[in-house]
Amino acid sequence: MAKTIEKAYEIARQVYGDLGVDTDAALARLERIAVSLHCWQGDDVGGFENPDAGLDGGLAVTGNYPGKARTVEELRADADKALSLIPGTHRFNLHAIYADMGGRRVDRNALTAEHFAGWIDWARERVLGLDFNPTFFSHPKAASGRTLSSDDEGIRRFWVEHGIACRRIGAAMGKALGTPTVTNVWIPDGSKDIPVDRKGPREILARSLDEIFAEPLDPAHNLDAVESKLFGIGAESYTVGSHEFYLGYAVSRGTLLCLDTGHFHPTEVVSDKISAVLMFAKELLLHVSRPVRWDSDHVVILDDELRAIAQQLVRGGYLDRVHIGLDFFDASINRIAAWVIGTRCMIKALLLALLEPVDVLLGAERRGDFTARLGLLEELKTLPFGAVWDYYCLRQSVPVGRAWLDEVRAYEREVLSRRG
Ligand code: RNT
Ligand code: ZN
């Protein structure tokens, strides 16, 4: 098996070499790209704070595939399984509701790094970076549909305190692990029906964010990001934190902007926004998802838009300014497989982009030879990419091709099916 893979790689290396593409260099670059796996695919955005609290905030997870993680130990074991089937060294993205409190109850505005010590140890042992998110939903104080934009000062203050607490936790994670944590603020605030006042809540939100970000933190430990959205379930008519709101906020305040691929009108694409936003924003966070007709958060697949996003990151030279995070939740299939499929697809898209003969393509474009440009782009689609991908998996000691599926099945039999 290994011999065949190596032979196929040797041929692929020559094919790409003829176009001026160095496959060894592409793999060396790929190895240094971390993808941040979102913890919440493992348990349908449940968390451990209150197992009976339903998911709200306009989010919805559908499906009831058996075996979901119910405890921090189970979630870590499942994540370990997924990570063992994904080539490369990556990151893990936590939400505040995943605090490891050992039975104690601490409200969200009182959370500290101590409540994430178990996660930090877990990440350190695996040489994983951590990313973080305050959780502004699934909580009684979010029930009105307004958090940081609330005109109830008590409610607003509570959520500001939560934001401040989470940035400090992010900084502690980043410091402990030697790689900055991206702490991303997303709030569900909006309204079901047409509001009279669209301005007021946005003024309150800007003030709340300024209060959250007031404390200077070392960017070597924590980076702040803000995430916009178009609408949520039950908040279809107005979203306080819209794209224009956060684009302006991020550029004026110097935070990162988070672009979630499901948070735009269905014919808008994030692949076109990257080069526009990076003209003015220092860095970007991506939440790579797959919207199907709406912000459905389907598992990421190797579709045209995923490929286009990766192409923009590589062609634009943006890999060091863009943090790649995943954001999907599907409970209708094995949750570990969902992580593996989505992450492997993200990495495949990056490899495809790294294997493009960018100079040849740019040459055609700059000469105005759009015939060659189109012809070449289409011919590239059938080059022996699979041989390079297989070789990468082999070298990274993870299953080649569909072999990972057998490992997920075995884990399902031995571990997930016993969860009752
Ligand atoms: C919601 C946002 C947000 C969440 C996670 C759970 O629409 O995409 O990023 O998915 O924070
Ligand atoms: Zn998101």
Mean pLDDT of 227-235: 98
Q: Could you say which DSSP state residue 97 is in?
A: G
Three-state DSSP state, 357: coil
Instruction: Give domain limits for the chain.
Output: 34-357
| Residue 221 token pair | 């430990």
Whole-angstrom CA distances from 308 to 135, 142, 269, 277 are: 31, 36, 9, 16
Calpha distance 225→185 (Å, rounded): 6
- Does any ligand 1 atom lie closer than 6 A to the CB of residue 45? yes
Determine what percent of the chain is predicted with pLDDT higher than 70.
Answer: 100
Calpha distance 369→94 (Å, rounded): 47
- Does any ligand 1 atom lie closer than 6 A to the CB of residue 307? no
Among the bound ligands, name the one nearest to the CA of residue 58. 1
Model confidence pLDDT, tens digit, residues 37-66: 999 999 999 999 987 889 999 999 999 999
Calpha distance 97→54 (Å, rounded): 12
The whole-number pLDDT of residue 1 equals 84
Whole-angstrom CA distances from 337 to 78, 139, 174, 249 are: 10, 29, 28, 37
Residue 258 Cα: closest atom of ligand 1: 9
Calpha distance 273→255 (Å, rounded): 17
How many Cα atoms sit within 13 Å of 89 on the Cβ side? 12
Task: Enter the pTM of the model.
Answer: 0.98
Question: Are the CB atoms for 81 and 69 separated by under 8 Å?
Answer: no
Nearest to 97 by CA among 153, 59, 40: 40
For Cα atoms 325, 221, 277, give the angle at the middle one, nearest 5 degrees: 45
- Does any ligand 1 atom lie closer than 6 A to the CB of residue 131? no
Model confidence pLDDT, tens digit, residues 292-348: 999 999 999 999 999 999 999 999 999 999 999 999 999 999 999 999 999 999 999
- Does any ligand 1 atom lie closer than 6 A to the CB of residue 44? no
Nearest to 383 by CA among 55, 18, 2, 29: 18
CA of 227 to the centre of ligand 2 (A): 7
- Does any ligand 1 atom lie closer than 6 A to the CB of residue 287? yes
The whole-number pLDDT of residue 257 equals 98
Three-state DSSP state, 113: helix
The whole-number pLDDT of residue 419 equals 96
Residue 229 Cα: closest atom of ligand 1: 7
The residues whose Cβ lies within 5 A of ligand 2, an ion, are 260, 287, 327
CA of 200 to the centre of ligand 1 (A): 24
Overall size of the chain counted in residues: 420
Calpha distance 408→340 (Å, rounded): 9
Among the bound ligands, name the one nearest to the CA of residue 235. 1
E-strand ranges in 309-399 read 322-326
CA of 24 to the centre of ligand 2 (A): 33
Cβ neighbourhood burial of 22 (10 Å; 0-12, 13-18, 19+):
middle
Catalytic positions, written as ranges: 186, 227, 229, 260, 263, 287, 295, 297, 327
CA of 186 to the centre of ligand 1 (A): 7
Superfamily assignment of 34-357 in CATH?
Divalent-metal-dependent TIM barrel enzymes (3.20.20.150)
Mean pLDDT of 126-143: 98
Question: Are the CB atoms for 360 and 375 separated by under 8 Å?
Answer: no
The whole-number pLDDT of residue 5 equals 98
Three-state DSSP state, 282: coil
Contacts of 154 (CB under 8 A, 6+ apart): none
- Does any ligand 1 atom lie closer than 6 A to the CB of residue 16? no
Q: Which of 38, 260, 289 to mutate to test the pocket of ligand 1 (most atoms within 8 A of CB)?
A: 260
Q: Using the predicted structure, report yes or no on whether residue 244 has a pLDDT greater than 80.
A: yes
Calpha distance 307→11 (Å, rounded): 24
- Does any ligand 1 atom lie closer than 6 A to the CB of residue 9? no
CA of 207 to the centre of ligand 1 (A): 22
- Does any ligand 1 atom lie closer than 6 A to the CB of residue 305? no
Contacts of 130 (CB under 8 A, 6+ apart): 91, 92, 93, 94, 119, 120, 123, 173, 174, 177, 181
CA of 65 to the centre of ligand 1 (A): 21
